[in-house]
């Protein structure tokens, strides 16, 4: 287990606390060179993963989480529809459980996410444009104030870019955009900054990583949005790149590095926020599949961590048994055979996979940050 003092070395951002084992936990075998967060912290980086309150009931998973993670992200518990299922009826109990776990174990917390089109509560559809703007402002303000001083980085807006929606600015046609207009984006950042002057504020998005026409259009949209926010004076400080990697799609390190350099030139830092691998295009056999997925992760992280502006790596879960890819909600995640998805660093039995080793090797090889 990584001690709290080591965790607090994470960019001077970790929440005060002490690392304590939970009752019934199974401690994973020690890894030569240490866990993933220890390797990251040695280079001035952070490493963490998303988790949920239901996963906290699994001792073997929580033991691996403590061994590898200095940064915790709530999968669902901090999203608007979860926090406010009815107008004015705010529920923070489940999210508070994750904050309590982080405090007791010396972990930082990454806030995910204040605004996302898939977590807008249904009751928003009953509101006028003015009512929608007021509800958005109240939600952002109340949520950031609730955990003021306890969140290192907030994803203020998530996935606002959708070139396929046909707008010249590449913005996604969401309820907030349709009701309020593009100004909802800088407004959200300004409200979050007023609520917590010290939290870092991020825009978070997906699909920019591969050398495909689709990814290139998304990169144009993301850069355009970031430039627009900066020109509007919005206090955006971080770009979160989800990195839901797609095995079988081309990845060009030089092309990706050029995009990261463009982001850094805007004065932003960068965080990898939801790393995993969709292995639908890979063979069913676990050995070759794991090797190919790990190779993609290693090439992606080697290129990404060469950029000095990159400061964190977060996986979207730790174990295959809890992955949104395995749930098959999107058609592109569903395999044509009976093999189960293997997108994350640990398998169902909480054994480290080649993806874990690829992340460890990339962190070990990363240039140190100041």
247: left (phi over 0), alpha (psi -120 to 50) or beta: beta
As beta bridge partners, residue 73 has 50, 110
Catalytic residue among 75, 77, 274, 307: 274
Calpha distance 260→158 (Å, rounded): 18
Residue of 82, 173, 88 whose CA lies nearest to 120: 82
For residue 113, cis peptide bond before it (omega within 30 degrees of 0) = yes
At 164, list the tokens: 């396929």
Query: CB–CB of 16/38 below 8 Å?
Result: no
At 363, list the tokens: 């962190």
Whether 332 is catalytic is: no
Catalytic residue among 77, 159, 271, 307: 159
Query: Using alpha carbons only, how large is the chain's radius of gyration in Å?
Result: 20
Q: How far apart are the first and last CA of the chain?
A: 25
CA–CA distances in Å: residue 25 to residues 10, 28, 85, 208: 24, 9, 34, 38
Whether 120 is catalytic is: no
Query: CB–CB of 119/79 below 8 Å?
Result: yes
At 332, is the secondary structure helix, strand, or coil? Answer: helix
Active site members: 159, 274
């Amino acid at each position: 287990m990584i001690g709290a003092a080591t965790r607090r070395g994470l960019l001077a951002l970790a929440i005060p606390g002490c690392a304590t084992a939970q009752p019934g936990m199974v401690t994973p075998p020690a890894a030569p060179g240490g866990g993933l967060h220890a390797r990251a912290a040695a280079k001035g980086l952070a490493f963490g993963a998303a988790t949920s309150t239901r996963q906290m009931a699994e001792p073997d998973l929580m033991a691996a989480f403590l061994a590898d993670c200095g940064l915790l992200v709530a999968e669902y518990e901090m999203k608007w529809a979860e926090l406010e299922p009815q107008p004015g009826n705010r529920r923070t109990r489940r999210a508070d459980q994750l904050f309590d776990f982080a405090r007791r174990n010396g972990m930082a917390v990454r806030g995910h996410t204040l605004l996302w089109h898939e977590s807008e509560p249904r009751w928003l559809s009953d509101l006028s444009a003015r009512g929608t703007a007021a509800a958005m402002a109240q939600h952002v303000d109340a949520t950031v104030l609730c955990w003021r001083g306890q969140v290192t980085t907030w994803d203020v807006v998530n996935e606002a870019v959708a070139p396929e929606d046909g707008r010249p600015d590449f913005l996604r046609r969401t309820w907030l955009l349709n009701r309020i207009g593009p100004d909802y984006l800088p407004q959200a950042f300004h409200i979050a900054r007023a609520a917590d002057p010290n939290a870092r504020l991020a825009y978070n998005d997906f699909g920019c990583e591969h050398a495909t026409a689709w990814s290139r259009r998304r990169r144009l949209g993301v850069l355009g949005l970031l430039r627009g926010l900066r020109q509007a004076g919005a206090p955006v400080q971080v770009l979160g790149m989800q990195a839901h990697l797609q095995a079988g799609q081309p990845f060009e390190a030089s092309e990706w590095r050029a995009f990261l350099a463009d982001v850094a030139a805007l004065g932003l830092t960068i965080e990898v926020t939801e790393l995993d691998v969709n292995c639908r295009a890979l063979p069913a056999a676990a050995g070759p599949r794991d090797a190919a997925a790990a190779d993609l992760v290693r090439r992606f992280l080697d290129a990404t961590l060469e950029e000095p502006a990159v400061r964190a790596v977060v996986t979207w879960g730790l174990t295959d048994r809890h992955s949104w890819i395995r749930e098959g909600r999107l058609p592109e995640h569903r395999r044509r055979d009976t093999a189960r998805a293997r997108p994350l660093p640990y398998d169902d039995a909480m054994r480290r996979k080649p993806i874990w080793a690829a992340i460890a090797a990339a962190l070990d090889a990363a240039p140190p940050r100041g």
